[in-house]
Copies of this chain bind each other. A is one copy, B any other.
Amino acid sequence: MKKIGVALLGLGTVGFGTYKILTDNKAEIEKKHGVSIEVKHILEKNPKRAEETGVNPRLISTDINNVINDPEISIVAEFFGGIEPARSYLIACLKAGKSIVTANKELFSKHWAEFNEVAEESGAGIYFEASCMGGVPIVRTLTAGLQGDNILSIAGIFNGTTNYILTNMADNGEEYGAVLKRAQDLGYAEANPSADVDGFDSMYKLSILASLAFNKKVPLNKIYREGISKISKEDIERGKDFGYTLKLIAMAKNKGKIDARVHPMFVENSHPLASVKSSFNAVVIEGDNVGDVMLYGRGAGDLPTGSAVVSDIVYCALQKEYKRFGFKKESDKDYATDFVSKYYIRMTVDDKSGVLAKIAGVFGKYEVSINSMHQKPLSGGVSSIVFLIHETSELNINKAIAEIKSLNVLKEVDALIRIF
């Protein structure tokens, strides 16, 4: 039987999850896939982890040279997170001809091209199933499936922390700050939650998946990004009245120009993405022949993510030749600078006659067509109005909003939320 030596860079939650799967399922993997995978070395700085995890301390060191110089190690899986030293270590491994497996979406979305260049030279493979949607095999689906389709769009819920927060806000009527605090106390959100709540994590994943889907580079700086920190329970509640659920959606379309964005969206309750609850992830891929295909599952966690890492290790071990993806950045004009969407806009205005006519006049000027309007009187002589807007250009919406803000009847534009 083919024998493959593996190194793990990091023995944190997912690193140990991977170690555990490789150990517990070793015989099954040998039987099913005909390859014997052995962990030969682990890099870990925390001297207590050997004891905590029960891993043989002789496997553990802090010196990357123990990995690079071991000819029996042919696959290196990275769990450090962040950019350095992960980047330098992986580059060194690739240079030494070792294939890499990573769950690190930030690193991979930023340095994919660099890794690819080094790998092209040395002939090593690059695998990143675990970087997106935990154990859900979305990378394999896009790289080894759906070859009969041009992918027209990809849209999903890629971040469990924000989905947990939004699910709790919707189900329990809580405000953002309160749920975030609890999520932090429970360890579901980081002390500094920005990577999740500001949409960076979703953006990294979207960059990776959209590039695969469209066979074109979708770089981070071409992705519009807006997080959930300004979402109020008022909008979630009013969305319910229209049959909408609020989700942080990452979506990219390739219909002429590439349009990629991460932002909160109202999703119709009948759409499968609306019922993705709590820490689950889901993605809908639209192909020109297959139509919509959805994948759904746990987007994070030691064993789900470890499952994806092991899947990559076994897959890599069985390849005769590594398929690599060297997407070039397209010309700037191939990326959209505007897009169309439907909108929900909530504003507070003076509660007197003629106000609506003024606002409607501005919308009309910019060809923004109102689908419906719902007014709610508040105390203090003001009203809260929600407009649902037909599909229209974002540039036009922005111009209309800017002009409405200058009307003296307007108190505030409270929310602008796109509709899926």
- Give residues in A with beta carbon < 8 Å to B: 17, 21, 25, 28-29, 31-33, 129, 134-137, 140-141, 144-150, 215, 272, 275, 287-298, 303-304, 306-311, 313-315, 320-321
Q: Which residues of chain B come closer than 8 Å to A140, judged between CB atoms? A: 140-141, 144-145
Closest chain-B Cβ to A139's Cβ sits at a distance in Å of 9
Nearest CB to that of A296 among chain B residues? B294
Nearest CB to that of A134 among chain B residues? B290
Closest chain-B Cβ to A323's Cβ sits at a distance in Å of 8
Task: Tell me which of B32, B141, B298 contacts A290 (CB under 8 A).
Answer: B298
Q: Which residues of chain B come closer than 8 Å to A150, judged between CB atoms? A: 25, 28
Known: A272-B275, A297-B291. A147 touches B29 (CB 8 A): yes
Indicate if the CB atoms of A148 and B287 lie closer than 8 Å: no
Closest chain-B Cβ to A100's Cβ sits at a distance in Å of 17
5 smallest CB-CB distances across A and B, nearest first, come from A148-B310, A135-B290, A137-B145, A147-B314, A148-B307
Indicate if the CB atoms of A297 and B307 lie closer than 8 Å: no
Most buried by B among A17, A29, A149, A310: A149
Q: Which residues of chain B come closer than 8 Å to A314, judged between CB atoms? A: 147-148
Known: A148-B21, A215-B32. A290 touches B294 (CB 8 A): no
Indicate if the CB atoms of A306 and B289 lie closer than 8 Å: yes
Closest chain-B Cβ to A204's Cβ sits at a distance in Å of 21
Task: Tell me which of B137, B147, B297, B303 contacts A33 (CB under 8 A).
Answer: B147
Task: Tell me which of B148, B296, B307, B313 contacts A311 (CB under 8 A).
Answer: B148
Nearest CB to that of A31 among chain B residues? B215
Q: Which residues of chain B come closer than 8 Å to A303, judged between CB atoms? A: 289-291
Nearest CB to that of A147 among chain B residues? B314
Cβ contacts A to B, 25 pairs, < 8 Å? A25-B149, A29-B147, A31-B215, A32-B147, A135-B146, A136-B293, A137-B293, A140-B140, A141-B145, A144-B315, A145-B311, A145-B315, A147-B314, A148-B306, A148-B308, A148-B310, A272-B275, A275-B275, A289-B310, A291-B298, A292-B297, A294-B294, A294-B295, A295-B295, A295-B296
